[in-house]
Amino acid sequence: MSSALPRPVARLIDAFARLPGIGPKTASRLAFHLLRMPDDHALQLSEALRALKESVVHCQRCYNIAETSPCEVCADPSRDSGTVCVVEEPLDVIALERTGEYKGLYHVLHGAISPVDGIGPTDLRIDELVRRMGVEPIREIILATNPSLEGDATAMFIERALRANGSEVRLTRLARGLPVGGDIEYADEVTLGRAMTGRSEVR
């Protein structure tokens, strides 16, 4: 970063540039926008970032993000504890909840198997899912990974891991009303709701 910039500005630009999808030019625009922003707005952003790191935890049952553990979904006695929907990211939980079609629990993997990116099965919450099978009365696991090469590989690995553990739980996948290569978080409510309703057995 140019030495003509004050050090705090250069540090902020570098910090923004480390975010996914943010290049050097966008990082610079964001930093200078914050400089022009009223002090109270900038401080609100600072406080929101602090609260994000201090107050958000992972639910120790489903590994979704929450303010408390267990999260609201896991603590809700009206949810069907015999059905667990496995998703890649917390944003997928939000997308599925918007449909109003699903009344079970979740398990968030926090990613998908991707050798190119150096992400293997041990980097995800797959072992925790297998352990849940041994302590919870789960009848069905819905593999709701994204319809992509990485999502399919992750679903296949989970299926093998559960079968190797002797599990006879019903395994289903979302119906392929979802676009191949797309992300669940960007699907509209109708498409996602139909995909959940029309899920199929994993064979």
* pLDDT tens sequence across 156-173: 999 999 988 888 899 999
- Residue written as token pair 């990116």: 117
How confident is the model at residue 178, as a pLDDT? Answer: 66
Vertex 192, ends 186 and 194: CA angle to 5°? 160
CA distance 95 to 65: 14
Backbone phi, then psi, for 86, in 5-degree steps? -95, 120
Q: Coil, strand, or helix at residue 121?
A: helix
| Whole-number percent of the chain with pLDDT over 70 | 96
Would you say residue 1 lies in a domain? no
What residue numbers bound the domain in which 154 lies?
75-201
CA–CA gap between residue 57 and residue 66 (Å, rounded):
5
Specify if 189 maps to a domain.
yes
> What is the average per-residue pLDDT within 73-95?
97
* Residues β-bridged to residue 200: 173
Residue 2 has pLDDT above 70, yes or no: no
**pLDDT band for position 194 (cuts 50, 70, 90):** confident
pLDDT tens readout for residues 52-70: 999 999 999 999 999 999 9
pLDDT of residue 72: 96
Asked if pLDDT for residue 74 goes beyond 60, the answer is yes
Instruction: Enumerate residues 6+ apart whose C-beta is below 8 A from 159.
Output: 143, 171, 202
pTM for the predicted model, two decimal places: 0.80
Residue 195 lies in a domain: yes
What is the average per-residue pLDDT within 135-141? 95
What mean pLDDT comes out for the span 115-119? 94
Q: Are residues 81 and 111 in the same domain?
A: yes
| Alpha-helical runs (H) found in 89-201 | 90-99, 126-135, 149-164, 189-197
Assess if residue 97 is contained within a domain. yes
pLDDT at 88: 98
Return d(Cα 104, Cα 86) in angstroms, integer: 11
Please give the order of strands across the beta sheet that includes 140-143. 104-108, 80-87, 140-143, 170-173, 200-201
| pLDDT category of residue 180 using cuts at 50, 70 and 90 | low
In a domain? residue 61: no
